[in-house]
């Protein structure tokens, strides 16, 4: 398993580096901005809590591409250069191979989310100057975007993973993954337009459909990869 994980890290090296850049660049931009303001004007807002929440949300938004790329690359990348054929005649079982891929892809995505959620719900509330009811349900607060972003990430990952289980192109798998939340949103818009349901909670249905499709895609992709004979 150690060797498989090492191999998967190396295969996804570019995506992992890209992911780190996407994860950290909003924070670095915020810090640079504040550092510049401090040095130039002495007016940096270092402890402005809402600013950090927005930076974390931007980081999560930018990391969507990383999530889709990790899932899209998982199985298809090795089919592109046919190194999957080399791996296929080595002894590790399909179960071991996919476990390693799941640990890497899901682990990296969870890490991205854990860091950002830790900032939003762990670090920011400790900062002075945050209103007590900052996280109460109110339409205006930026944290309200978290469920939508999370369900978008789930559908991106699940659909890209599913496509990666049978396609030979990581770009196409990733592309379909990126397109999937747009398709869900478009589908809901179409339902609203054509059928005029009396009370369609767009946001709630979007989250439910995205999470459902994402989980279904992940399970179906994993089962398909385990069952298929060809690499």
CB closer to other proteins, 81 vs 201: 81
**Closest separation in Å from C-beta 85 to other proteins:** 5
Pick the closest to residue 106 from 65, 161, 159 (CA basis). 161
Q: Which residue, 61 or 92, has its beta carbon nearer to other proteins?
A: 92
> Please, which residue, 86 or 202, has the CB nearer to other proteins?
86
230's enclosing H/E stretch is: none
Distances (CA, A) of 107 to 17, 29, 30, 72, 112: 15, 25, 26, 15, 9
* 161, 215 Cβ separation under 8 angstroms: no
Closest to 16 (Cα-Cα) out of 31, 5, 27, 26: 5
If the CB atoms of residues 45 and 99 are measured against other proteins, the closer one turns out to be: 99
Q: Measured from the CB of residue 96, what is the shortest distance to other proteins in angstroms?
A: 9
Which CB atom, from 84 or from 134, has the smaller least distance to other proteins?
84
End-to-end CA distance of the chain: 18
Q: Which residues bind other proteins (CB under 8 A)?
A: 2-3, 6-7, 10-11, 81-86, 88-93, 229-231
Contact 1, 93 (CB under 8 A): no
> Shortest distance, CB of residue 191 to other proteins, whole angstroms?
40
Smallest separation (angstroms) from other proteins to the CB of 40: 45
Min dist CB 170 to other proteins, Å, is 15
| Contact between residue 97 and residue 4 where contact means Cβ atoms under 8 Å apart | yes
State the residue for tokens 């989310």. Answer: 113
């Amino acid at each position: 398993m150690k060797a498989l994980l090492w191999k998967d890290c190396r295969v996804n090296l570019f995506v992992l580096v890209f992911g780190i850049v996407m994860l950290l660049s909003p924070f670095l931009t915020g810090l640079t901005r504040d550092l510049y303001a401090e040095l130039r004007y002495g007016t940096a807002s270092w402890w402005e809590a809402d600013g950090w929440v927005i930076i974390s949300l931007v980081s999560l938004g930018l990391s969507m591409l990383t999530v889709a790329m990790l899932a899209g690359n998982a199985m298809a990348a090795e089919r592109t250069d046919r190194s999957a054929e080399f791996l296929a005649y080595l002894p590790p079982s399909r179960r071991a191979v996919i476990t390693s891929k799941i640990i890497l892809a899901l682990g990296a995505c969870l890490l991205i989310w854990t860091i950002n959620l830790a900032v939003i719900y762990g670090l920011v509330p400790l900062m002075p100057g945050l209103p007590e009811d900052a996280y109460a349900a109110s339409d205006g607060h930026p944290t309200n975007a978290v469920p939508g972003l999370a369900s978008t990430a789930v559908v991106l990952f699940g659909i890209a993973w599913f496509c990666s289980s049978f396609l030979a192109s990581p770009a196409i798998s990733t592309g379909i993954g990126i397109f999937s939340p747009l398709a869900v949103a478009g589908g809901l818009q179409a339902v609203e337009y054509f059928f005029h349901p009396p009370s369609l909670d767009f946001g709630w249905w979007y989250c439910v459909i995205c999470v459902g499709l994402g989980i279904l895609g992940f399970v179906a992709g994993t089962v398909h990869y385990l069952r298929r004979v060809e690499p």
